[in-house]
Amino acid sequence: MLHRSCHQHCSRLAALLAVVGAIAGCGGPAPTDVALGTLERDRIELTAEAREPIVEITVREGAHVQTGQILLRLDDATIRTRLDQANGAISQAKNRLAELVKGPRVEDILAARARLEGADSQLSTERNELERVRKLVDQKLLSASNYDRQKAVRDAAEAARRETSAQLTQLLRGTRIETLDQARDALNQAESQLRELDVSAARLTVRAPADAIIEALPYKLGERPPPGNPVVVLLRDGAPYARVYVPEPLRVRVLPGTVAEVRVDGADRPLAGRVRYISAEAAFTPYYALTQRDRSRLAFLAEVEVTDPAGAALPAGVPVEVRFGPVP
């Protein structure tokens, strides 16, 4: 649900055009001792987890919110139904496991013994009948087909007796360890599905991941945002950073950790800063051969964190100038 994008495309293009305009120049030398850009804040986009309608919006654009504060809610009726089903599956799996652990009941064993006695009696009857039919066939009083039919009946009685005996043996020996393991695995799987659904249900309530200002609410109450689309855009509190383009002549002096002075239009004094990132590739590359004069037109994207506490209240989007290293 949380997607961070520290770069705003509009400000990037505006700053790049400003740099290109400055270094290309229509009427003066290129300022190679200053990096130009804009003041930015970390941008946080909270996205929709499911295609469900928005049922509540608790904030407005421009409002300041605190970590954990509820911003909006998506309808959770569908996920609640699935949670009920998952809880039912867990209950069923627990009961099955408990039944297997306890083993067969005394009543089940007694019933199996009774069935075995009945099968023994039936087998004895069919064997006697087969012997009687055999004698009648020998005396030519019955045809051989009668003997064959009775023999099939006797064989069926023997098979039934073996099956009943095996069932009783299984009850007497108890539950196999493999069967218990399967029941435990089924319970673990059902509990894992419930935990997954709990996480999905919680994400339908969108909360602020940090202290921030609401920059945009792209959707209105009742709309169904597609999964992955931002539903809330935040600008994080704390120190802003200057997003600037470093001219090529300054590149060898500018490294992560380099101290800097940040000048903001309208601020009473320069602000202390420190480079936190600089790109290894030029953001503006001429199409012609890179002579010494051409190389001076290159610019490298950099981010300079404002370490001065006075910068915490500055708004995003204002133009800045950055000088690197000790300032005379």
Counting residues of the chain whose pLDDT is more than 70, the rounded percentage is 82
User: Tokens 């950073």 identify what position?
Assistant: 241
Q: Rounded CA gap, 49 and 67, in Å?
A: 20
Q: Which residue has the higher pLDDT, 203 or 284?
A: 203
Q: Rounded CA gap, 170 and 97, in Å?
A: 17
Q: Rounded CA gap, 102 and 95, in Å?
A: 11
Q: Which residue has the higher pLDDT, 297 or 306?
A: 306
Q: In this model, does residue 103 exceed pLDDT 70?
A: no
State the pLDDT confidence band at 88, using cuts at 50, 70 and 90.
Answer: very high
Mean pLDDT of 86-106: 83
Of 5-19, 48-62, 230-244, 304-318, minimum mean pLDDT range: 5-19
Q: Which residue has the higher pLDDT, 139 or 65?
A: 65
Q: How high is the pLDDT of residue 120? A: 86
**Using an 8 Å Cβ cutoff, are 74 and 50 in contact?**
yes
Q: How high is the pLDDT of residue 247? A: 87
* CB-based contacts of 186, cutoff 8 Å, min separation 6: 93, 96, 97
DSSP 33: T
**Strand pairing category for 2-4 and 271-284:** unpaired
Burial class (CB in 10 A: 0-12, 13-18, 19+), 77: exposed
DSSP 158: H
**Strand pairing category for 2-4 and 230-236:** unpaired
Q: How high is the pLDDT of residue 27? A: 41
Mean pLDDT of 294-300: 72
Mean pLDDT of 207-236: 94
Mean pLDDT of 40-49: 92
State the pLDDT confidence band at 59, using cuts at 50, 70 and 90.
Answer: very high
**Using an 8 Å Cβ cutoff, are 42 and 4 in contact?**
yes
Q: How high is the pLDDT of residue 16? A: 45
**Strand pairing category for 241-247 and 230-236:** unpaired
Q: How high is the pLDDT of residue 102? A: 72
Q: Furthest-apart CA pair in the chain: how many Å?
A: 134
Q: Rounded CA gap, 265 and 281, in Å?
A: 28
Q: Which residue has the higher pLDDT, 234 or 26?
A: 234
Helix (H) or strand (E) holding 11: helix 9-24
3-state secondary structure of 295: helix
Q: How high is the pLDDT of residue 288? A: 46
Q: How high is the pLDDT of residue 5? A: 45
Side-chain-side CA neighbours of residue 66 (13 Å) = 0
Q: How high is the pLDDT of residue 197? A: 93
The pLDDT tens digits of the residues spanning 119-150 come to 888 989 989 988 888 888 888 888 888 888 99
Could you tell me the pTM of the whole model?
A: 0.58
State the pLDDT confidence band at 73, using cuts at 50, 70 and 90.
Answer: very high
**Using an 8 Å Cβ cutoff, are 241 and 302 in contact?**
no
The pLDDT tens digits of the residues spanning 265-295 come to 888 889 999 999 999 888 765 544 445 555 5
